[in-house]
Chain A
Amino acid sequence: MSLLAKMIRTGRVTETPDPSTDAQVLPAAEPFRRSIQVREVDAGSCNGCELEIASAFGPVYDAERYGVRLVASPRHADVLCVTGPVTHNMATPLVKTYEATPAPKLVVAVGDCARNCGVFAGGYGVAGAVSDFVPVDLEIPGCPPSPDDLLRGFRRLTGR
């Protein structure tokens, strides 16, 4: 009962959508028809991006409003959302994950590390940027990108 009371007391916390983001749909995302299933791949991230992604799907930002869902397996996914520089240990699993995703599929490189290795560039454990291993369709810059940045990026795939 106290849970219900708390829910009523708290009310709605979700931020209103930003109307200025006049989403322009990426042509490659057309086949998904305004709904994408996302598999997150941590290719060697410091987990900063993961924190932001977690909050983007939390109650405040609520990415699912825009037709974006996180799924548990690349077999269920339309979009791979890759974070971090690609480390030596994760290079093969990343490629295998890409192979396991059914076509049509897109890859989103989330954060500066995924785009160009960021602060980890030249590190002994780093094998390269995401685009060195799988074709990248969309980049979301930032170190880490804020939930707003993430939503803006994802809305370019769903058009909502």
Chain B
Amino acid sequence: MSFAEVSATAAMVVGAVAIIAAFSIGDARRRALVTGVLTALCGFSGLLAASGVLATGRPVHAEFPHLLPFAGLSFRLDPLGAVFVLAVGGVVTAAAVYGIGYTRDHLSGRSFQALVPAFALTLLLVPAASSMGTFLVFWELMALTSLLLVLAEQRRSPEARDAAMWYGVMTHLGFIALLLMFSLLAAHSGNGSFLAIERSSSSMDPALRSLVFILAVVGFGSKAGMVPLHAWLPRAHPEAPSHVSALMSGVMVKLGVYGIVRVGFGLLGGGPSWWWVVLLVLGAASALFGILQAIASSDLKRMLAYSTTENIGLILIGVGAAGLFTTTGHPILAAAALGAVLLHVINHAAFKALLFLAAGSVVHGAGERNLDRLGGLMRRMPVTGAMFALGAVAIAALPPLNGFASEWLLLQSLIHGADSQALVVAIAVPLAIAVVALTAGLTAATFVKATGTGFLALPRSPAAEAATESPRSMLVGMGFLASVCVLLGVGVGVLGAGIGRAVAAVGGVRKPAPFRVHGSTLSPPWQVVGTSMALAAALVLGVGVIMVLLRFLPSGGRRRRADNWGCGRTQQTARMEYTASSFAEPLVRVFDDVLHPDLDIDVTHRQESQYYVEKIRLRLGIKDAFEERLYRPVLNGIHAWGIWARRLQNGSVHRYLGYAFAALIILLVATR
């Protein structure tokens, strides 16, 4: 057995043991500890298995023909799946360690503790599934376990029920699309295995192939949180316990991307350029809409959830660009774009999970996640604050952290594609560059807002004032992801070979794939990225050393400590500070065509004179435009239809007998 096979087996066994342990250990605190450690080991083994596959390029196979009736379970972890398993494994490790401290007080129940490793196992197995049956089973199990985890805190917050309802409905609508899609594919190939589908899909009718692709985009897009199917995401992610949010936002949505890449490039083997333009447009819409909603929301976890939509948008832009470059004959650019996408999948998993864990730590320490009522946490929760700041720098794509590496690579591949001769590329790619650049700027503003108003300045509520630092296990979980963010930024070249193998594996089995690029062809951009990241790191380090030296070296003259000059004012209260809403207000005003802010100012005058103001109330609500314009009419329609249908069933027995009689007559006439 190879290293990867051993690790994969270990991951499965340890994960199963974790589920059993969660049910069998009686003491609540010990249950949280043991389950957390075992789940972390399961995730880490998955990470090792994925690194083994990426290092050698040899897939891991496993067949269990008797486990599921008719089809059996079959797994094949190839380098493409391994990239996603790598991300899942890393996030599961961190989230499980974090979960020890996070869950031991109020979430240590048996079923919750067992659901977390179960969710982790399904996350690890979905990218490894190699037949339609296996894939759909684990896809659905992943949806169900995460749905139950979203409901974990429903007693404390009624919104969780609403969120779970949205999530359940959206994810199952997506599942229907996937079921239809796989049925079409399997009906053509006569066999549900991915290998058979890949071999036969090129002989499919082009219209049918396009239908399959559209269904895949709808089905996987609803899981990925792509606009306009994102409505569940900003509801479900904030309501789930934070380490579950980290798993959902960091890796579960990525499996939607995995599905699109697997079906679009792998099973269908590429397609006409309009497919990829559709994907590019949807990606651009997700990126812009997601980040605009993120900048406007003052709920910390909701903001992070919208930022996930934005990052999925960037990833879809990359996937669309890769497909477009393939169809227009730029295989090297396509490989670079897809490589950037896969790198961003790993990087986003690292920093988004880190941010969600830090947000959970804030909820744990301060009991509050509204940025307008936080503030001053850097002093009270220094480690959490530092972790959040690091994650914010990474997600804002500042060198030398990992977010910069992948976004820069994505921009590079787009910029070099802009001088293409093909008309569709020449139009789509410059627009995509503009979207990526605007998104990057708005992301920086969003996370300046979050860090500045949440962690700096003075506390704006008693809850924030009484905040306490989280237990050590939570800090260790965050520290793991933070070090990954730094390492993947400075040492991005480490992943180069593995990602190159994953890109090469995307192309399919039999066809000479356009992505089959030799390691040498792909390596130069990676080396360049690696070098510039190292330079940036050296620069940051150098500035840091100089600042430390200036601080501690003796200087001429006497030092006097004095307050900042505040024009002699005697008070400094939290009411004078920027809040998250007021910081975002100018941008909300600029983009009010998209955001439709619902602003309500209510001024109460004193009784004596209307020139004296008693109090001013300002309420700023940002509604999701898609929810208002797209979902609300559909829901209202269904509701109206339901009311109308109620007339059929009014409780009268005579009427029901009449229906039965009419049905009988119709049947007799029809089958005459």
Q: How far is the CA of A93 from the CA of B563 in the complex (A)?
A: 12
Among candidates B565, B569, B570, residue contacting A75 with C-beta atoms closer than 8 Å = B565
Kindly state whether residue B658 has any CB partner on chain A within 8 Å: no
Which chain A residues border B562 with CB–CB below 8 Å? 99-100
Kindly state whether residue A44 has any CB partner on chain B within 8 Å: no
Kindly state whether residue B554 has any CB partner on chain A within 8 Å: no
Q: How far is the CA of A92 from the CA of B566 in the complex (A)?
A: 12
Is the CB–CB distance between A94 and B568 below 8 Å?
yes
Which chain B residues border A99 with CB–CB below 8 Å? 562-563
Is the CB–CB distance between A74 and B570 below 8 Å?
no
Which chain A residues border B563 with CB–CB below 8 Å? 96, 99-100
Q: How far is the CA of A92 from the CA of B569 in the complex (A)?
A: 8
A96, closest chain B residue (CB)? B568
> Range of interface residues on chain A?
10 to 19
Which chain A residues border B570 with CB–CB below 8 Å? 92-93, 96
Which of B334-369 touch A at CB < 8 Å?
Answer: none
Which of A63-109 touch B at CB < 8 Å?
Answer: 73-75, 92-94, 96-97, 99-100
Q: How far is the CA of A92 from the CA of B568 in the complex (A)?
A: 7
A41, closest chain B residue (CB)? B568
Secondary structure at chain B's binding surface: helix, strand, loop or mixed?
Answer: loop
Chain B window 551-576, contacts with chain A (Cβ cutoff 8 Å), 1 for yes, 0 for no: 00000000000110111111000000
Secondary structure at chain A's binding surface: helix, strand, loop or mixed?
Answer: helix
Which chain A residues border B565 with CB–CB below 8 Å? 73-75, 100
B568, closest chain A residue (CB)? A93
A129 to nearest B CB, angstroms? 19
A82 to nearest B CB, angstroms? 12
Q: How far is the CA of A97 from the CA of B569 in the complex (A)?
A: 10
B237 to nearest A CB, angstroms? 47
Which chain B residues border A92 with CB–CB below 8 Å? 568, 570
Which of A26-80 touch B at CB < 8 Å?
Answer: 73-75
Which chain B residues border A97 with CB–CB below 8 Å? 568
A73 to nearest B CB, angstroms? 7
A74, closest chain B residue (CB)? B565
Q: How far is the CA of A75 from the CA of B568 in the complex (A)?
A: 12
Q: How far is the CA of A97 from the CA of B565 in the complex (A)?
A: 8
Which chain B residues border A74 with CB–CB below 8 Å? 565
A17 to nearest B CB, angstroms? 35
Q: How far is the CA of A56 from the CA of B562 in the complex (A)?
A: 33
A97, closest chain B residue (CB)? B568
A102, closest chain B residue (CB)? B560
Q: How far is the CA of A75 from the CA of B562 in the complex (A)?
A: 12
A102 to nearest B CB, angstroms? 9
B566, closest chain A residue (CB)? A96
Q: How far is the CA of A100 from the CA of B569 in the complex (A)?
A: 12
A98, closest chain B residue (CB)? B568
Q: How far is the CA of A42 from the CA of B562 in the complex (A)?
A: 22
Q: How far is the CA of A75 from the CA of B565 in the complex (A)?
A: 8
B564, closest chain A residue (CB)? A100
Q: How far is the CA of A97 from the CA of B566 in the complex (A)?
A: 9
Which chain B residues border A73 with CB–CB below 8 Å? 565
Which chain A residues border B566 with CB–CB below 8 Å? 96
B573 to nearest A CB, angstroms? 16
A99, closest chain B residue (CB)? B562
Which chain B residues border A96 with CB–CB below 8 Å? 563, 566, 568, 570
B569, closest chain A residue (CB)? A93
B570, closest chain A residue (CB)? A92
B557 to nearest A CB, angstroms? 10
B562, closest chain A residue (CB)? A99
Q: How far is the CA of A94 from the CA of B162 in the complex (A)?
A: 57
Q: How far is the CA of A73 from the CA of B570 in the complex (A)?
A: 17
Q: How far is the CA of A141 from the CA of B565 in the complex (A)?
A: 30
Q: How far is the CA of A94 from the CA of B567 in the complex (A)?
A: 10
Which chain B residues border A94 with CB–CB below 8 Å? 568
Which chain B residues border A75 with CB–CB below 8 Å? 565
Q: How far is the CA of A73 from the CA of B565 in the complex (A)?
A: 9
Which chain A residues border B569 with CB–CB below 8 Å? 93
Q: How far is the CA of A57 from the CA of B573 in the complex (A)?
A: 37
B567, closest chain A residue (CB)? A93
A83 to nearest B CB, angstroms? 15
B309 to nearest A CB, angstroms? 46
Q: How far is the CA of A93 from the CA of B565 in the complex (A)?
A: 10
A104 to nearest B CB, angstroms? 12
Q: How far is the CA of A74 from the CA of B568 in the complex (A)?
A: 10
Q: How far is the CA of A42 from the CA of B154 in the complex (A)?
A: 60
A59 to nearest B CB, angstroms? 29
B558, closest chain A residue (CB)? A103
Which chain A residues border B567 with CB–CB below 8 Å? 93
Which chain A residues border B568 with CB–CB below 8 Å? 92-94, 96-97, 100
Which chain B residues border A93 with CB–CB below 8 Å? 567-570
B571 to nearest A CB, angstroms? 10
Q: How far is the CA of A75 from the CA of B563 in the complex (A)?
A: 12
Q: How far is the CA of A106 from the CA of B390 in the complex (A)?
A: 46
Q: How far is the CA of A6 from the CA of B566 in the complex (A)?
A: 42
Which of B116-145 touch A at CB < 8 Å?
Answer: none
A91, closest chain B residue (CB)? B570
Q: How far is the CA of A74 from the CA of B566 in the complex (A)?
A: 11
Q: How far is the CA of A143 from the CA of B568 in the complex (A)?
A: 26
B662 to nearest A CB, angstroms? 88
Q: How far is the CA of A131 from the CA of B281 in the complex (A)?
A: 72
Q: How far is the CA of A96 from the CA of B568 in the complex (A)?
A: 6
A158 to nearest B CB, angstroms? 25
A31 to nearest B CB, angstroms? 14
B671 to nearest A CB, angstroms? 96
Chain B window 526-555, contacts with chain A (Cβ cutoff 8 Å), 1 for yes, 0 for no: 000000000000000000000000000000
B251 to nearest A CB, angstroms? 51
B565, closest chain A residue (CB)? A100
A86 to nearest B CB, angstroms? 12
A150 to nearest B CB, angstroms? 23
A89, closest chain B residue (CB)? B570
Which of A5-19 touch B at CB < 8 Å?
Answer: none
Q: How far is the CA of A55 from the CA of B562 in the complex (A)?
A: 34
Which of B403-420 touch A at CB < 8 Å?
Answer: none
B124 to nearest A CB, angstroms? 60
Q: How far is the CA of A96 from the CA of B566 in the complex (A)?
A: 9
B373 to nearest A CB, angstroms? 30
A73, closest chain B residue (CB)? B565
Chain B window 81-98, contacts with chain A (Cβ cutoff 8 Å), 1 for yes, 0 for no: 000000000000000000
A94, closest chain B residue (CB)? B568
| 7 A–B contacts, CB within 8 A, in A order | A73-B565, A74-B565, A93-B567, A93-B569, A96-B568, A100-B563, A100-B565
A-B pairs, top 7 by smallest CB distance, nearest first, are A93-B568, A96-B568, A100-B565, A92-B570, A97-B568, A75-B565, A99-B562
Q: Told that A92-B568, A93-B568, A96-B563 touch, could you supply 8 new A-B pairs with CB distance under 8 A?
A: A74-B565, A75-B565, A93-B570, A96-B568, A99-B562, A99-B563, A100-B563, A100-B568
